[in-house]
Amino acid sequence: MKLLVFGQTGQVARELARRMPAGVSATFLGRAEADLSAPDAVAAALAHHACDAVVNAAAWTAVDKAETEKAAALRVNGDSPAAMARACAAMDIPLLHVSTDYVFDGKGEAPFTPDHPTAPLNSYGRTKLAGEMAIRASGARHLILRTSWVVSAHGTNFVKTMLRLGAERPQLNVVADQHGAPTPAADIADALILSASALCDGAAGGTHHFAGTPDTTWADFARAIMAAAGLPCAINDIPSSAYPTPAARPMNSRLDCSGFTRDFGIPRPDWRHGLADILKELRA
């Protein structure tokens, strides 16, 4: 199986590059080869590479910045996935697209199912939803994989931020009323590779959820990071109202991942194991 991956330096793309099993190869397109701010260029780049499936692991992920740069975020998260999907439909190859829990309104306490009504709270969520809708409308065979709280040893993420601040300060205030699940990028990469193979073999795609387990809060996740890293930094619980951000965050990011496990045989990964692997890599 040969994959064409949009993305090169992001967390999921970097893990995909490191985790290709025997019999699977991939070409990775970074911004120089396919700038997602130019949807026509994205479609042209796809047409120049023969592949069995396409993985879109690139996105505009600056959530707060999307509030002031809505058009730019929409080109990357909405228009370019639409262009990919149309090209994949024309070539009859599947498209695997990474999306987010931010397409929901974050209300309640129950995990969101894939068919739950969407109602994004912020511009980032609206642009990601636009990408999803365009993919479904394209007629392409597809898998939209929504995930949450992505972490790894690469790039900018909550684990690395907590480690940096925890080494500098005796205590930190962390939001304790937002619930969800950290998801190691390595596990997302493995899930994409396995599901890409299944789609190439004729499996049905659709919209699915994939997130780590167990569900937690940002504050409790921070405590787990400090404990695993051996840092004495204390974590103080605060409400979201005490840490205002330009973009509203969902209070409930829990995702029901049972359908993905049922259809693809891929269980939710334990993020505590992923955290141990991330810390081991960072120490090395």
Residue 6 within a domain: yes
Residue 199 within a domain: yes
Inter-helix orientation angle 158-168/218-229, to 10°: 60
Task: Please tell me the total count of domains within the chain.
Answer: 1
Residue 90 within a domain: yes
Please give the chain's pLDDT, 284 residues, in tens: 999 999 999 999 999 999 999 899 999 998 888 889 889 888 888 888 889 999 999 999 999 999 999 999 999 999 999 999 999 999 999 999 999 999 999 999 999 999 999 999 999 999 999 999 999 999 999 999 999 999 999 989 999 999 999 999 999 999 999 999 999 999 999 999 999 999 999 999 999 999 999 999 999 999 999 999 999 999 999 999 999 999 999 999 999 999 999 999 999 999 999 999 999 999 98
Domain of 139 in residue numbering reads as: 2-156+183-212+254-269
CATH number at residue 100: 3.40.50.720
Residue 171 within a domain: no
Residue 261 within a domain: yes
Residue 246 within a domain: no
Residues annotated as catalytic (active site), given as ranges:
124
Residue 147 within a domain: yes
The letter for the amino acid at 78 is G
Residue 8 within a domain: yes
